[in-house]
Amino acid sequence: MFEIDWRTLLAIVALALVTVLTRGFFFLSERDWKLPHWAERGLQYAPIAALAAVVAPEVVMTQGQLIDTWKDARLFAAAAGVAWFFWRGGVLGTIVCGMAVFLPLRLGLGW
């Protein structure tokens, strides 16, 4: 069938052990872990920061370069989504509004 090198097997086992230890470390203690207030407050913003770090470059860049034209459907879709979010709130409405602007511009006008 196939042959596994002993170094490959050792690497797989070592990575599995490291994963189990790091993820299970907090369950090994008998008492509750308490983070400092500043750490808890900082972790509240982590998902928003991660989302912004993924979405913002996708909106303003193409192939690693800043877009150089205003005729880009992503700009108008992002603006419409932001406007919807501040007007009505809600993630689903923001996505639907952004896509309702994006698709006609991309498919209809070829932006």
At 58-78, the pLDDT tens digits run 899 988 889 888 889 999 999
List, for residues 14-40, the tens digit of each pLDDT value.
Answer: 999 999 988 887 777 777 878 899 988
Domain carrying residue 93:
32-108
Is 16 a domain residue?
no
Is 91 a domain residue?
yes
Is 83 a domain residue?
yes
pLDDT > 90? residue 4: no
Is 69 a domain residue?
yes
pTM above 0.85, yes or no: no
Distance of CA 93 to the CA centre of its chain: 19
Is 24 a domain residue?
no
What's the CA gap between 108 and 111, in Å, rounded? 8
What's the CA gap between 103 and 87, in Å, rounded? 21
Q: Residue 1's pLDDT band (boundaries 50, 70, 90)?
A: low
Total tally of structural domains belonging to the chain: 1
On average, the pLDDT of the chain sits at 89
| Bridge partner list, 66 | 61
What's the CA gap between 107 and 91, in Å, rounded? 24
